[in-house]
Amino acid sequence: METGLRGKRVLVTGASGGIGSACARAFAAEGAEVVAHYNRGQDRAESLEGMQLVQADLTDEAQVERLFEEAGDLDACAAVAGVWPREDVSVWELSLERWEETLRANLTATFLTARGFLRGVERQGHGSLVMVASTAGVFGEAGHADYAAAKSAVAYGLLLSLKNEVVRVAPRARVNCVSPGWTRTPMARREIDDPEVVARVTSTMALRKVATPDDVARQVVVLTSDELSGHVTGQMVVVAGGMEGRLVHP
């Protein structure tokens, strides 16, 4: 089935990461013109051949505005960029500095990306935005309340507000969200290489396996496509093998 993305111009943020690079390649495979954003992973971004590369710190408003200026007119945006703080810290020990850094890297960065893209939607009258959250925002994640709070805000409050706001300026524009569970990315490599960790995190999943970045990217492409998802907006798709929650005790 055709996605209708051939010739469309798509921005993928966080394209130097595991899920972001998979999304960039998936859009390119559909014939889209891909603008691949990266922040620090220049060497990994440069492996994405045939794409326009743009560097920006998505927590910096001025840099995000420059990103959209360089990207030009866009038909779609996959807001993938995010940071999972590896260290397990309970809230009563969590510093305000880490809390604010995590929210800025995940929630504020997504807001600035969405705002920049939707300003273009207002001018052009069309567009599709897919934000990437996490199952941490659906089920919570002990030791990572900062990350869970940020991703929950994306997957619920921001998503459900934007899908109603965007139709004020573009009646057919859509906003959706994908929430991946544990995925084989460089960010989580240390954890998913540990069989005991994998056994624990998949224990509430019907499909007891860790996702690949391509598993997530395919859902991002489907939701972005007006051909495949033209009457779908405000929806969150969880890509986590049927996860029902997280174990509270080991």
pLDDT by residue (tens digit) across 49-79?
999 999 999 999 999 999 999 999 999 999 9
Residue 12: predicted pLDDT: 98
Rounded mean pLDDT, 163-170: 98
Residue 197: predicted pLDDT: 83
Residue 158: predicted pLDDT: 98
Q: Say if residue 192's pLDDT is above 80.
A: no
Residue 248: predicted pLDDT: 64
Give the chain's domains with CATH numbers. Answer: 9-239 (3.40.50.720)
Rounded mean pLDDT, 209-223: 96
Residue 157: predicted pLDDT: 98
pLDDT-derived band at 41 (thresholds 50, 70, 90) equals confident
How does the average pLDDT of the chain come out, rounded?
Answer: 95
Q: Say if residue 191's pLDDT is above 90.
A: no
Distance, CA of 115 to CA of 138 (rounded, Å) = 23
pLDDT-derived band at 199 (thresholds 50, 70, 90) equals confident
pLDDT by residue (tens digit) across 19-39?
999 999 999 999 999 999 999
Q: Say if residue 226's pLDDT is above 80.
A: yes
Residue 187: predicted pLDDT: 72
Residue 250: predicted pLDDT: 60
pTM score over 0.85: yes
Residue 159: predicted pLDDT: 98
pLDDT by residue (tens digit) across 71-127?
999 999 999 999 999 999 999 999 999 999 999 999 999 999 999 999 999 999 999
Distance, CA of 97 to CA of 12 (rounded, Å) = 28
The b-or-e profile of 121-142 (16+ CB within 10 A means b, else e) is beeeeebbbbbbbbbbbbbbbe
Q: Say if residue 185's pLDDT is above 70.
A: yes
Q: Kindly report the three-state secondary structure assignment for every residue of 130-154.
A: EEECCCHHHHCCCCCHHHHHHHHHH
Task: Please work out, in degrees rounded to the nearest 5, the angle formed at the alpha carbon of residue 225 by the alpha carbons of 37 and 15.
Answer: 15
105: nearest Cα among 142, 54, 75, 146: 146
* Strand ranges in the chain using DSSP code E only, listed in sequence order: 9-12, 33-38, 52-55, 76-79, 128-132, 174-180, 236-239
CB atoms closer than 10 angstroms to residue 249: 3
pLDDT by residue (tens digit) across 131-160?
999 999 999 999 999 999 999 999 999 999
Distance, CA of 236 to CA of 178 (rounded, Å) = 5
